[in-house]
Structures are given as structure tokens and as C-alpha cells.
Amino acid sequence: MACLLVGVVISGCNGVDFRTNIGPYAKSRIASAGVEEYSPVEIARYDAVSLGLVEASSCQERIDEPAPERSGVVRAMKQRVHKLGGNGVVVESCARVAQGTCRVYLECRGTAYSVPQRQSRP
């Protein structure tokens, strides 16, 4: 009897598709977690390969929205580094700049790297 009940439950759920918004959120968090932020001095200790420039920005359009934070903008940069196949980023600048439609506009720029596991220089 128990086997029959288990079989009915399993076959009844066959083809059921659960859709949530957790997928894109989790993927972006995992991607950014796999990318380490380095200083220019730290990255020089590795035989890292530059993958190019990356940038990200955030805009606060209305007063009731949260102001952009460096951590969120750097997380977006890390996601871009991950998409390039990198695992390291050097954030070279983050600044609030004037932007017509934004109350506060924060923009960060840096360089994406593929960093080996071990340091090559002390």
C-alpha cells in the first residue's frame, strides 16, 4: 500500500515546474562570490592575466529609493568579471558623479583578472 502511495505521489509531481525569482538572485550571488577583490599591490604578487576593463554603476532616481553603495556596485563588477571567465578584480576608482536623471549616481571602474591559485612573488 505504501509503495502504491509513493508511486502515485511521484508520478503526480512528474512534469511540475516550480518557478521562483530565487534563481537569478542566487546565480548572481554565486558568481560574485567566486571573484576576489585585490589591491594593485596584491595583484602584482601573482602571474595574473588581465582580461580587460570592467565597470558598473548605480543610480538613485527618487528620494525614497536607497542610495547606491560601493558594495553593490562592486558586486555587479564581480558578476561581469565572472562572465569574462575571471576570478579577480582590482577596483581602480569609485566615485559619485553628476548624472542628469539621478539624485545620486555611483560609478566604479576596474580591471578583471584571471588569477592563479598561488602567488608567484612574495
- What pTM does this model have? 0.72
Model pLDDT for residues 31-58, shown as the tens digit of each residue = 567 899 999 999 999 999 999 999 999 9
The closest alpha carbon to 72, from 34, 110, 107, belongs to 107
Q: What is the pLDDT of residues 47-102, one digit of tens each?
A: 999 999 999 999 999 999 999 999 999 999 999 999 999 999 999 999 998 788 99
Contact indicator for 91, 74 with CB cutoff of 8 Å: yes
Give the separation between CA 114 and CA 81, rounded to whole angstroms.
9
Instruction: Please state whether 45 falls in left (phi above 0), alpha (psi between -120 and 50) or beta.
Output: alpha
For residue range 6-20, list pLDDT tens digits in order: 444 445 555 545 455
Domains annotated for the chain, with CATH where assigned, are 37-122 (3.30.110.70)
Specify the pairing of strand 49-60 against strand 88-96. Answer: unpaired
